[in-house]
Amino acid sequence: MRPDPAQPAAPPQALPEAGSVPAAAAADPDVALMLRLQAGDEAAFQDLFRKFSPRVLQFARRFVGSDAQAEELAQDVFVQVFRFRHRYRPQSRFSTWLFTIATNLCLNEVRRPERHLRVDIWERRDGEERAEGPPLPDPSAVTPEQGAAARQLERRLEVLVAELPPKQRAALLLSRMDGLAYRDVAEALGSTEGAVKALLFRATQTLKRALREYL
Amino acid sequence: MRCRRAQRWMVAAVDGELAPRRRRMLEDHVGSCPVCRRDLAGTGEVLERVAGLATQCEVPSRLEQATLRRVQLLAAAEEERSAARGWWAGLRAPALALATAAVAIVAVALTRGAGDRQPITSRALDQHRVAAQAPAREKPRMIASSERRAPKAAENLPVEPPPELAAAPDLFIELPILRNMEKLEHFEAIGTTTLDDGGEQSNG
């Protein structure tokens, strides 16, 4: 099911009633925070924001390729979490619900027809330091040359991931992120596990072909 | 098993999402196919590299502040809406009762009015005929607002001008202010218009 770019992304409405909280979900601290937020505790929202915003922001940056847009999207994601807090049902993990919202908003953003220009933040410009955070640690890199090669591979990989078709990119990022199972990825994308497998297969094939010289 | 199918299952196998029976089939195929073995190793490496990409980044404080501000505004708007909804819910029942009572009163009044009406008698018909033969009364006409005000103004005015003015009406007519009365009606014109003919400018 493709999200309609014209419509604001709405989080999925879980079918079961709110009253019953499964034991596993009740033990999940994120679910507990979300239930507190539903009960009107706005401090719980701050805790959720502080815990998940680094991941949501990074996800959005990889998706839209622009820091400013990623920040706007991350903001929108958390505003949606607050707005639709009463729709959350603890049958699914909070992170699945959160990344469903994030994915829908990101897909809407990249499919907007007026989105002609795309600034690729993954291509480092001359003399510019990465704002993303620490580089990927590479235990196998024992020499400076090997370390440089690993960083080059990492940058190339980031560019390639950013160039994947949106749904393939979403499936790949979600499946690597926060340990989302295929079932959760399918829920976030509004599709089936089979479709997720197909998306991941195509994405991996593209990356393998492009990275042949590095691997 | 064909190589193409094996390739399709590789990502799920690396992620541990392949059904056990298929996993065994894939392992059997890879054991006997060096091309697929290399392919599986490549798939594993690519996925490992992607998983190794940074999944978090530093969140600027402005983002947190902006988000919290928007959420506070949203919460305030929600409270306002729920308060308004509560007020309307409280008012709805009395309003409905009042409307019902009003309808009932009107209905009763109409019913009683119909009951009080006299039956049409020959005398009433005669009265009606006489009234019809009488000269038609002048139709009420719209009265202009100036006309409506006129009697009041006329009451205040003296019937005759004062004797000194009646003797020398030119003194009255030639006052410069009267020649410029139209200009006085517009406030903006007052500030910018010369009122007299002598070339002196008005001070506003």
Contact A176 B57 (CB under 8 A): no
What is the model's pLDDT at position B21?
92
* Helices assigned H by DSSP within A18-143: 23-27, 29-38, 42-64, 67-83, 94-110
Mutate to test the interface with A, among B56, B61, B68 (most CBs of A within 10 A): B56
Q: pLDDT category, A15, cuts 50, 70, 90?
A: very low
Average pLDDT, chain A: 79
Q: Which residue has the higher pLDDT, A79 or A215?
A: A79
Interface check B28 vs A, CB under 8 A:
no
Question: What is the model's pLDDT at position A77?
Answer: 95
pLDDT in tens, A166-207: 999 999 999 987 678 999 999 999 999 999 999 999 999 999
B48-67 residues touching A, CB cutoff 8 A: 49-60, 63-64, 66-67
Which residues in A lie closer than 8 A to residue B58 (C-beta atoms)?
A: 54, 131, 133
Q: Which chain A residue shows the shortest CA-CA distance from B59?
A: A54
Q: Which of A54, A158, A161 has the CB atom closest to B56's CB atom? A: A54
pLDDT at res. A147: 73
How far A117 CA lies from chain B's nearest CA (Å)?
Answer: 23
Which chain A residue has its CA at the smallest distance from B70's CA? A79
Stretches where chain B sits below pLDDT 70 are 86-91, 113-156, 169-204
CA distance A123 to A65: 10
Contacts of A133 in chain B (CB under 8 A): 54, 56-58
> Per-residue confidence at A65, pLDDT binned at 50, 70, 90?
confident
Q: Which of B113, B133, B151 marks a domain boundary?
A: B113
Q: Is there a contact between B57 and A58 if contact means CB atoms under 8 Å apart?
A: yes
Q: Where in the sequence is the domain holding B22, given as residue range(s)?
A: 3-50
pLDDT at A2: 42
Q: Is B71's Cβ below 8 Å from some Cβ in A? A: yes
User: Which CATH code for domain A157-215?
Assistant: 1.10.10.10
Q: Residues of B with CB below 8 A from A46's CB?
A: 68
Contact yes or no for B71 and A71 at CB 8 A: no
Decide if A186 contacts A192 (C-beta within 8 A).
yes
pLDDT of residue A192: 93
For tokens 């929202």, name the residue.
A45
Is B54–A182 a contact, with Cβ atoms under 8 angstroms apart? no
pLDDT band for A14, please (50, 70, 90 cuts): very low
pLDDT in tens, B62-119: 999 999 999 999 888 888 887 777 666 666 777 788 888 899 999 888 887 665 555 5
Q: What is the pLDDT of residues A82-136, one digit of tens each?
A: 999 998 888 888 888 999 999 999 999 888 766 544 444 444 444 444 444 444 4
Say which of B8, B46, B70 has its CB closest to residue A79: B70
Mutation target to probe the A interface, by most A beta carbons within 10 A, among B59, B70, B79 is B59
Boundaries of every domain in chain A: 12-112, 157-215
CB contacts, 8 Å: B10 with chain A: 201, 204
In chain B, the residue whose alpha carbon lies closest to the alpha carbon of A76 is: B67
Local confidence band at A150 (pLDDT 50, 70, 90 cut-offs): confident
Give the tokens for residue B111: 């019913």
Q: DSSP characters for chain B?
A: --HHHHHHHHHHHHTT-S-HHHHHHHHHHHHH-HHHHHHHHHHHHHHHHHHHS----PPPHHHHHHHHHHHHHHHHHHHHHHHHHHHHHHHHHHHHHHHHHHHHHHHHHHHHHHHHPPPP-HHHHHHHHHHHHSPPPPPP----HHHHHHHHHHHHS-SS--HHHHH-HHHHHT-HHHHTHHHHTSHHHHHH---STTSPPP--
Structure tokens at A63: 């998706």
Are residues B45 and A215, on separate chains, in Cβ contact within 8 Å? Answer: yes
Pick the CATH number of A12-112 from 3.40.50.2000, 3.30.460.80, 3.30.230.10, 1.10.1740.10: 1.10.1740.10
The tally of domains found in chain B comes to 3
Q: Do B57 and A53 touch (CB under 8 A)?
A: no
